[in-house]
Structure 1
Amino acid sequence: MRRETQNILLVLLGGALLKIGINGDYLRYVKPAQQPWVIAGGAVILLLGAVAIARDLQTARRARAATATPEPGHAHDHHHPARSAWLLVVPVLAVLLVAPPALGSDSVIRTSAGAPRTAAAQDAAAFPPLPAGDVVPLTLTEFVTRAGWDSRGSLNGRTVRLTGFVVHDKDSVLLARMVIRCCAADASPMTVRLTGPEATRYPDDSWLEVTGQIVPGTAVASNGYTADVTVESLNPIAAPQDAYEY
């Protein structure tokens, strides 16, 4: 690859990292705590590319000045750059111009939402009492953890509010959220099964705010601790900028 192509790639890659770090698209790849590193990395790469381009331009000007009056009979070399190398710019431009969506329903199906989450089942944790109130807002991670491993049944009889996206899995309608520990590469799904016909009206990846109660005894190892939730109300909402839980 020619140096010119390398330098352009550096500038584009640094610019892409700065763009997603500033406008919030980085949340589709990594946790919020990683934002300073994304921005710093983008700035360093962009600076390296700019410095390299400036040095190459300066070197080219000196070379032209030195060969301004070629010796008689001296043949000029005509160097044709490899055009195929510029194809490497395409994926960098894709990141710069088109941000992919956060992981959604297809990722839930691929990672098998029904697979047992054995790591969390090694030891039942002690769960504090839920706060008072008619409706308790919980993340899907909190709900699924209590549903599967709280032997005291703290969710039984309590109305909760959950937020997630719709996944149609065979005959079931799931409310899901992807959980990441470092970046999108290690994402895993948290899911609950929505009962009632109303949820079936919404297509995959529709975001909903659901109010309902757990059906006791439905979160078991054989179904991956995916509890049934009796839906009392649901409302479509816009997808949040930060689509993951941590």
Structure 2
Amino acid sequence: MKNVLILLLFIVFSCSNDFNASSEKTETIVKGNVSDIERNFPIKNFKIVLLRVWDDWSVVQYAPGSEVIDSVRTDSYGNYSIKFDFIKGERYAFEKQYYGNPYYTESMGNTDIIEGDINIRNINAWYPTVLKLNLNIHNNNYPAMRISSHILENNNSYFPTVDIFESEIDTIAYIGSKPNSNVQLNFHYSTGYSNEDYHYLLKEVTTDLQDTISLSYKIDCSTF
């Protein structure tokens, strides 16, 4: 009986050591600056969210999963700092802010944080330029005609679309774009469900640092 008790204590102690090893924590810092890469000034009050990220289905019910470690806002100089307990074997990333934030950030990706170190991670962002589209639209007989915009240098940078439902109308539409960039406007509609039923008209625009750029287009949907 005594031998059994010693064996049980040994097993409990071993499991405890394994748990502590897998949960080893090291105080770590990630800090940096957020700036407008196009206008060359720091961005204050920008929200930084640090996540612990899992890709393993065995860790979370729905993969990938994440957990917020901490969030801070930049000061008047665009600086931020987060101190946290780095868990050995875990992966960390910044959460990209899509809503409630007027700035678009360049690709943030994994932070590749070195545990126990002061990790400098600067973030480039930019305030979008608005394209004011003065539109003269005809023969929009398969509504909605949709207007989309994306940066030619980065095909993943899309902005919210604008829908036009009227067949004949003079109207103004506003759509976001990146300053100092080549931007493609796509006027498109569908008459069915196949690729042949997809109709589009492309317009290229070169933007500058103006907050709003006014453009005029006559769009006849029967021609494309």
- TM-score category of the 2 structures, normalised to the smaller one: under 0.3
Task: Answer 1 or 2: higher relative contact order, Cα 8 Å, separation at least 6.
Answer: 1
Please identify which structure carries the higher strand content.
2
Please identify which structure carries the higher helix content.
1
TM-score, with structure 2 as normaliser: 0.25
TM-score, with structure 1 as normaliser: 0.24
